[in-house]
């Protein structure tokens, strides 16, 4: 509603200030323009009458623009905004003498977004379908084939404002946005054309999922910023797929990964997970711009930026305090919104991807299959099979009757699959990848584990957990020394996954007695501190340690009962009514409540059993603190 009113005010202001000049160019019936009063009267009768004193606009001398935008009035606005280049001449020039501002090129230097654009050249699907759609039909402005149009800043601002009034996401124009517009419209024109083609495959899916969760459809452009719509995109940090999920975040939202299958590459599963993540972030900040920033850099970085900005929850207010990569994130998102809506104005047209979203269907696979079998048996290009099924990293579908998998095919191939499914399972490809060999590869993959090093862990401890040796772990991972660091990923092969019984036995054997812990071989302060829910600093303080050196058999004070007593205290406080409650009002967010009651979002979630998909409901009571 607010943006509709802004649109009306913008519309009325421009008409009042520049009525004659603007509408002489816009009127369909006005063939000639003179300065005589009679011609001005005729123009008003044929198109629109403007009365400056009352700012009332009449259409055909009878219709009046109502406070609400009706279908007719919207069509008028759309007609006027249709030629934004001409309409922009009516704006007051606030971009300097040459109507031009400098780009913020620093945003592009070393940007992950630029690397994702470059990755589009390796998408094999386009190697087969290398042709452009009918430019004669799309080129409505009559541009030459190699012409690169340029526009003044006032034109960019007006076009983005037209998009802004149609979405709850705040879209503005500035020098940071300009740098990304020029990236997509000038330097990366070929990649933009490819992305315009790929959107015909992915945008219908994105829109369905966003609509399912009642979210702004414009968020679909985020995938363009994240991966350039490359389904197999990967970052240096380890993010994967269209929505660039990190391993840990993906697991949190139900995206599982192993040696053969990675759900982060599955467009359908990853899109649903990304929508849930964005919705949760919006629930924390109440701002889509901050939610986008948190999606990129994590809530921790955004929270710190908000604190440094004095608690103001506005993206542009916290912009200087965000990580460098995140400072270019929302500007890039705005630029993608712009270029995908005004591609024809920049003489950019989509490259046909060869298949559309509604030309893809899915079937259920109930036995192990390889891409070689599918391609040869069903007379398909193996690159097409790979493109439609990027989640299968090794080209093997490890399906079974108890755990089926989904295979996506061109719609016209689905009937053939259903009719010959059993024959396909028994088919031997030219590479000789028979069922027995596939099963052997799957068994080997199941024995292969990825272990993420935690704080306090050593190679010796990891080797014991997986029933292997330090030497083998070093050989599998090409390690020259035994030095490892938290977050490091290690490949581990073992007769089975780490034994839960072994872990339980370890926990029982290391259980403290009377608040003390006896150090075992391979343990360090970090591991012991984590076990008892304390910090290394506390551990050193309680035991008078000046360094991190400890030895097997040494007894350390750990106050092991602290976490239990803490839980008991919380339960006692709840029973005695010592919790502080807050009744949710419309517009409340967890971040606001945490700040108001000097608590944290994590604590409020724990006290109330809130999951990541929680949605605040007005009138509901939440525990926000403990009295005393």
Q: Answer yes or no: pTM beyond 0.75.
A: no
What are the tens digits of pLDDT across the range 324-342?
888 999 999 999 999 999 9
Catalytic site residue 226? yes
What are the tens digits of pLDDT across the range 280-297?
999 999 999 999 999 999
> Are residues 13 and 151 part of one domain?
no
pLDDT for 109: 65
Average pLDDT of span 563-578: 50
Residue 519, domain extent? 510-560
Select from 318, 346, 374 the last residue of a domain. 346
CATH code assigned at 459: 3.10.350.10
What's the pLDDT band for 504 if we cut at 50, 70, 90? very low
Average pLDDT, the chain: 76
Q: How far apart are CA 561 and CA 109, in angstroms?
A: 52
Q: How far apart are CA 181 and CA 257, in angstroms?
A: 35
Q: What is the DSSP string of 516-554?
A: EEE--TT--HHHHHHHTT--HHHHHHHHT-SSS---TT-
> Are residues 230 and 251 part of one domain?
yes
- Split into its structural domains, the chain has a count of 6
Residue 82 has pLDDT above 90, yes or no: no
pLDDT for 55: 35
Residue 572 has pLDDT above 60, yes or no: no
Terminal-residue alpha carbon distance, the chain: 45
pLDDT for 45: 41
Nearest-CA neighbor of 120 among 38, 34, 198?
Answer: 198
Q: How far is CA 54 from CA 4, 41, 58, in A?
A: 20, 18, 11
> Are residues 340 and 375 part of one domain?
no
Residue 364 has pLDDT above 60, yes or no: yes
> Are residues 466 and 578 part of one domain?
no
Q: Is residue 305 part of a domain?
A: yes
Look-up: residue for tokens 């697991």?
A: 251
What are the tens digits of pLDDT across the range 88-146?
555 555 665 556 667 766 666 666 666 666 666 555 544 444 444 667 777 878 888 88
Task: Report yes or no: 94 and 29 within 8 Å, Cβ to Cβ.
Answer: no
566-582 per-residue burial string, b: 16 or more CB within 10 A, e: under 16: eeeebeebeeeeebeeb
Average pLDDT of span 393-399: 88
> Are residues 172 and 239 part of one domain?
yes
Q: Is residue 91 part of a domain?
A: no
Select from 293, 315, 346 the last residue of a domain. 346
Select from 560, 575, 595 the last residue of a domain. 560
Residue 472 has pLDDT above 90, yes or no: no
> Are residues 322 and 289 part of one domain?
yes
78 against 502, higher pLDDT: 78
405 against 501, higher pLDDT: 405
Highest mean pLDDT: which of 286-300, 477-491, 594-608? 286-300
Residue 216 has pLDDT above 60, yes or no: yes
pLDDT for 11: 57
CA 514 to mean position of chain CA atoms: 49
Residue 172 has pLDDT above 80, yes or no: yes
pLDDT for 269: 96
> Are residues 135 and 199 part of one domain?
yes
Token pair of 411, please?
């719609």
Q: How far apart are CA 292 and CA 339, in angstroms?
A: 19
Q: Is residue 230 part of a domain?
A: yes
> Are residues 147 and 16 part of one domain?
no
Q: Is residue 278 part of a domain?
A: yes
* Catalytic residue selected from 157, 226, 345, 523: 226
Q: In the chain, pLDDT over 70 holds for what percent of residues? A: 68
> Are residues 535 and 430 part of one domain?
no
Q: Is residue 318 part of a domain?
A: yes
pLDDT for 122: 57
591 against 209, higher pLDDT: 209
What are the tens digits of pLDDT across the range 234-255?
887 788 999 999 988 998 999 9
- CB-CB neighbours of 178 under 10 Å: 23
> Are residues 257 and 199 part of one domain?
yes
> Are residues 596 and 554 part of one domain?
no
Q: Is residue 81 part of a domain?
A: no
């Amino acid at each position: 509603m607010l943006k509709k009113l802004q649109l009306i005010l913008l519309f009325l202001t421009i008409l009042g200030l520049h009525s004659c000049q603007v509408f002489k160019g816009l009127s369909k019936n006005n063939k000639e323009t003179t300065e005589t009063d009679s011609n001005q009267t005729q123009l008003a009768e044929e198109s629109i009458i403007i009365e400056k004193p009352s700012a009332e606009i009449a259409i055909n001398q009878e219709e009046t623009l109502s406070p609400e935008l009706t279908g007719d009035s919207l069509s008028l606005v759309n007609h006027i905004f249709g030629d934004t280049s001409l309409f922009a001449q009516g704006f007051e020039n606030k971009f300097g003498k040459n109507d031009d501002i400098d780009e913020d090129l620093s945003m592009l230097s070393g940007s992950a977004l630029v690397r994702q654009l470059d990755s589009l050249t390796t998408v094999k699907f386009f190697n087969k379908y290398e042709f452009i759609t009918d430019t004669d039909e799309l080129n409505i402005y009559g541009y030459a084939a190699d012409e690169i149009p340029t526009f003044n800043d006032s034109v960019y601002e007006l076009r983005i404002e037209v998009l802004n009034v149609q979405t709850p996401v705040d879209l503005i124009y500035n020098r940071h946005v300009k740098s990304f517009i020029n990236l997509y419209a000038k330097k990366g024109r070929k990649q933009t054309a490819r992305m315009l083609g790929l959107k015909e495959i992915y945008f219908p899916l994105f829109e369905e999922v966003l609509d399912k969760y009642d979210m702004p459809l414009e968020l679909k452009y985020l995938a363009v910023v994240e991966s350039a719509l490359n389904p197999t995109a990967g970052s240096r940090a380890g993010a994967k797929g269209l929505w660039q999920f990190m391993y840990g975040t993906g697991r949190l939202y139900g995206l599982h990964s192993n040696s053969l299958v990675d759900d982060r590459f599955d467009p359908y599963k990853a899109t649903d997970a990304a929508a849930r993540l964005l919705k949760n972030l919006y629930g924390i900040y109440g701002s889509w711009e901050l939610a986008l920033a948190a999606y990129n850099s994590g809530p921790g970085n955004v929270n710190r930026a908000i604190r440094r900005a004095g608690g103001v929850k506005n993206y542009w207010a916290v912009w200087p305090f965000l990580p460098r990569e995140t400072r270019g994130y929302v500007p890039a998102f705005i630029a993608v919104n712009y270029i995908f809506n005004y591609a024809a104005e920049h003489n950019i047209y989509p490259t046909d991807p060869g298949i559309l979203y509604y030309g893809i269907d899915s079937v259920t696979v109930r036995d192990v299959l390889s891409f070689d079998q599918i391609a040869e048996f069903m007379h398909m290009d193996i690159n097409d099979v790979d493109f439609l099924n990027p989640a299968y990293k090794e080209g093997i579908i490890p399906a079974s009757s108890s755990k089926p998998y989904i295979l996506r095919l061109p719609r016209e191939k689905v009937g053939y699959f259903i009719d010959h499914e059993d024959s396909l399972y028994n088919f031997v490809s030219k590479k000789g990848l028979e069922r027995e060999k596939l099963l052997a590869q799957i068994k080997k993959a199941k024995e292969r584990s990825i272990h993420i090093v935690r704080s306090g862990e050593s190679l010796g401890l990891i080797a014991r957990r997986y029933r292997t040796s330090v030497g083998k772990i070093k050989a599998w991972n090409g390690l020259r020394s035994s030095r490892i660091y938290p977050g490091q990923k290690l490949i581990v092969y073992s007769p089975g996954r780490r034994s839960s019984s072994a872990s339980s036995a370890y926990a029982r054997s290391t259980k403290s007695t009377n608040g003390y812990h006896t150090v075992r071989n391979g343990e360090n302060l970090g591991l012991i501190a984590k076990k008892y829910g304390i910090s290394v600093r506390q551990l050193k303080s309680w035991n008078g340690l000046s360094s991190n050196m400890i030895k097997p058999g040494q007894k350390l004070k750990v106050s092991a009962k602290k976490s239990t007593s803490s839980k008991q205290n919380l339960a006692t406080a709840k029973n005695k009514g010592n919790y502080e409650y807050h009744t949710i009002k419309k517009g409340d967010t967890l971040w606001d409540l945490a700040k108001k009651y000097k608590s944290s979002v994590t604590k409020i979630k724990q006290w109330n059993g809130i999951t990541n998909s929680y949605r605040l409901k007005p009138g509901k009571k939440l525990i926000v603190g403990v009295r005393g």
